[in-house]
Amino acid sequence: MAMRDLVAGGAACAVPGSSSSNPLGALANTLLGSSSKTQERLKEIPTATATSSENRFFQDVEDPLRALPGAEFEQQPFSHPGGQGSEFLWGFRSTDQNGLADAWDEIERSHVPRPSQANVPQLDHVYDRGPQLQPTVYGPPQRVLSNFLHSFVESSHGGIPFRPAPLPLLGLSEGDKQCIRDRSSIMARHFFADKNEDFINAQVNALLSSLDIDSDAHAKGRLPRRFRDLEDYWNESQGSLRPGPHLADGWISEFSQHRLDHSDPDAWAHAFERQHGANSCVSEFEQNSKFLQFVSKMSRGELIIDDNQVKPAAGPSDWATEYQQKYTGGTSWADEYVRDEVSHGPDRWVNEFATEREQNGSVDDQWVNEFSKLHVNDWVEEFGQQVEEGALGDSSADAWANAYDEYLNEQVAVKKQSEASRGVYVFSDMNPYVGHPNPLREGQELFRKGLLSEAVLALEAEVLKNPDNAEGWRLLGIAHAENDDDQQAIAAMMRAQEADPTNLEVLLALGVSHTNELEQAAALKYLYGWLHNHSKYRTLATTELANSLHYANVARLFNEASQMSPEDADVHIVLGVLYNLSREYDRAIASFQMALKLKPQDYSLWNKLGATQANSVQSADAILAYQQALDLKPNYVRAWANMGISYANQGMYEESIRYYVRALAMNPKADNAWQYLRISLSCASRNDMLEACDRWNIDLLQKEFPL
């Protein structure tokens, strides 16, 4: 179920027996919940109670069940004590290495609450996967606690005051007690939201005194303030399900405030309730799970936060036992989190999170479902082992932290990209040619001179003035393609096609660009369109074929066409592109070579030949072809970039860098080239220049890597 449902309560979440339909809010129910769902929540997030606390539970307490207070008005807990008790106590376990994975499986498997009988086999199954689990869990003392707490829950229904009664010593640790105290307070708050505060406190005190937990004056004193806030959260989350940036901001400031509240781990959990926005939840959870590992790493002492930096601590440790030890100590992971030594970390995370929220696009919440289908088991184990062995190295934590910056940058780039890929042309800002008397002519002139980026601007001015100017759009598309930007090329060519649907050059260009983008179906459509619109060959193109384009048929048609007119270079060119689609590279090369015999001065044709050769891994030949193209057109950005690729594919990274830099000097907007440059820089171990690359510092790069 999606994170959203976890927080806001989807239809499947209506758990009977709980007064709220907010399962995540019912995180507080960890001790009190009787449904498997809440226990799963508990398993997700390591809780205060430790594995070994069970040992203490295992005391000789027989049949206190009948004597429990609150028993008089409900019978349920006693009817199947074994199942409920063990389930419940299973929930007490901190997550071991497999726990997280198990938790996910559990979540996935139970969208609706099931009767306990059904749960037991599940648990057995889960049980088997955890060798650390001790067989003592089915003992009676656990049942005591479970049923006692259960009856507390049930008492909420009748609104009947819960009567305190002495219970046998259950051996709860201090941490456990604190946990129970905190959570039951919150729980009560939710259950009795419609009652007054005194009633709530009375209930809670009754519970606590029965369990021999001091209702800490400190905690009590803080109750009103704390819960007023939480009450607000609760009401807000009930009131509106719309995501709003203000909520997140509020949460973030609240979180910053509460950060220093040492014994307030639940505030965080409850604050999470507010995160019920449409998209944020999943991404939050993603961060949360990665964050979880980050935190558990910290708790293991393998990372230390030192003056706003995360550093790995020295020495490997046995992950499993240390983890257990940590939780034997009875401190909640959230407690550790809010401890002073990590005070810087959360700030940064919180701030980054805030910015990330605003920029976040749609994230698929099916991820949660799909993720759980994987046997995350293996990966989690491996991860633990790897960390132990130090195989991940120092960089991983830093890298994770730094990943946010990159992510933000990427988001911006992705947005731009997605617009163009939808066929929407993106105009440049600050175009000096707008207002020019004849921008088309200017553009053509600039193009002829080889000043591609300038030509683009002039042509943009033209089509802004005359949006139906097919020639303007066409040339704009060609200029972009030569500038190595297929996205914009496609966008411009589509407009050209709208203005002039039968233009063969446009159709061919569209076919080529789509081939480059690996969009085979679209490419086929346009190349077929070329045939269909050609005065000479349209007889070959029947309409029924147009509806079910198969590559083989189209190729056959083109072959027929070439036989009709062997001197028509264009047919060979189209054939060459077609063979690229089917990756019959030898045939493609042959076609292009034939075309070149007829049109040896066509620089674009040389580039096509080179690219074909490069894609069939004949990189040395490719470079020769590119060189021919560049001799004919020195400012042919695409050919420069292709050169870089061919060198890089041969492992000649230093050379490839120079070619990429040259391409970028001519067209700083060539996104592909930036990425490839980056890769080549690291392969050539020129990490010193990576920063220049990230900052788009072309001048520095040119100085460093001249041709």
- Interactions with other proteins, residue window 548-587 (CB under 8 A): 549-551, 577, 580-583
Select the residue interacting with other proteins from 413, 424, 624, 707 (CB under 8 A): 413
Select the residue interacting with other proteins from 370, 498, 631, 691 (CB under 8 A): 370
User: Considering beta carbons, is residue 205 or 580 the nearer one to other proteins?
Assistant: 580
Number of residues that bind other proteins (CB under 8 A): 75
Select the residue interacting with other proteins from 282, 455, 463, 689 (CB under 8 A): 282
Q: Which stretch binds other proteins (CB under 8 A): 9-17, 147-155, 340-348, 639-647?
A: 639-647
Residue 410 interacts with other proteins (CB under 8 A): yes or no: yes
Q: CB of residue 580 vs other proteins: minimum separation in angstroms?
A: 6
Residue 354 interacts with other proteins (CB under 8 A): yes or no: no
Angle between the N-to-C axes of helices 81-92 and 140-158, in degrees from 0 to 180, rounded to the nearest 10: 100
User: Considering beta carbons, is residue 645 or 657 the nearer one to other proteins?
Assistant: 645
User: Considering beta carbons, is residue 169 or 399 the nearer one to other proteins?
Assistant: 399
Q: By C-alpha distance, which of 523, 537, 611 is closest to 570?
A: 537
Give me the phi and psi of 442, to 5 degrees please: -60, -45
Distances (CA, A) of 707 to 5, 261, 596, 627, 691: 58, 60, 28, 14, 21
Answer for the pair 604, 629: CB distance below 8 angstroms, yes or no.
Answer: yes
Q: CB of residue 387 vs other proteins: minimum separation in angstroms?
A: 9
User: Considering beta carbons, is residue 18 or 396 the nearer one to other proteins?
Assistant: 396
Q: CB of residue 131 vs other proteins: minimum separation in angstroms?
A: 21
What tokens appear for 269 in the block?
Answer: 């959990």
Distances (CA, A) of 381 to 34, 299, 319, 324, 349: 30, 17, 10, 15, 26
Residue 441 interacts with other proteins (CB under 8 A): yes or no: no
Q: Which stretch binds other proteins (CB under 8 A): 87-95, 162-170, 454-462, 637-645?
A: 637-645
Q: CB of residue 687 vs other proteins: minimum separation in angstroms?
A: 13
Kindly report the three-state secondary structure assignment for every residue of 241-277.
CCCCHHHHHHHHHHHHHHCCCCCCHHHHHHHHHHCCC
Q: CB of residue 167 vs other proteins: minimum separation in angstroms?
A: 45
Contact code string over 390-409 relative to other proteins, x by CB under 8 A: -xx------xx--x--xx--
Q: CB of residue 87 vs other proteins: minimum separation in angstroms?
A: 29
Site for other proteins in 479-508 (CB under 8 A): 484, 486
User: H or E element: which one contains 214?
Assistant: none
Residue 645 interacts with other proteins (CB under 8 A): yes or no: yes
Site for other proteins in 513-542 (CB under 8 A): 515-516, 518-521, 524
- Residue showing tokens 């709220």: 20
Site for other proteins in 286-305 (CB under 8 A): 286-287, 290
List alpha helices for 534-688, DSSP H. Answer: 543-547, 551-564, 569-581, 585-598, 603-615, 619-632, 637-649, 653-666, 671-683
Select the residue interacting with other proteins from 318, 378, 468, 586 (CB under 8 A): 378
Residue 412 interacts with other proteins (CB under 8 A): yes or no: no
Kindly report the three-state secondary structure assignment for every residue of 294-350.
HHHHHHCCCEEEECCEEEECCCCCCHHHHHHHHHHCCCCHHHHHHCHHHCHHHHHHH
Long-range contacts of 188-195 (CB under 8 A, 24+ apart): 188/156, 189/227, 189/230, 189/231, 190/19, 190/20, 190/25, 190/26, 190/28, 190/234, 191/19, 191/20, 191/153, 191/156, 192/156, 192/159, 193/19, 193/231, 193/234, 195/159
Site for other proteins in 142-201 (CB under 8 A): none
Residue 337 interacts with other proteins (CB under 8 A): yes or no: no
CA atoms within 13 A on the CB side of 489: 26
Residue 646 interacts with other proteins (CB under 8 A): yes or no: yes
Site for other proteins in 595-614 (CB under 8 A): 607-608, 610-612, 614
d(C-alpha 347, C-alpha 434), whole Å? 47
Residue 682 interacts with other proteins (CB under 8 A): yes or no: yes
Q: CB of residue 258 vs other proteins: minimum separation in angstroms?
A: 25
Q: CB of residue 383 vs other proteins: minimum separation in angstroms?
A: 5
User: Considering beta carbons, is residue 337 or 551 the nearer one to other proteins?
Assistant: 551
Q: Find the angle CA(97)-CA(40)-CA(144) to the nearest 5 degrees.
A: 105
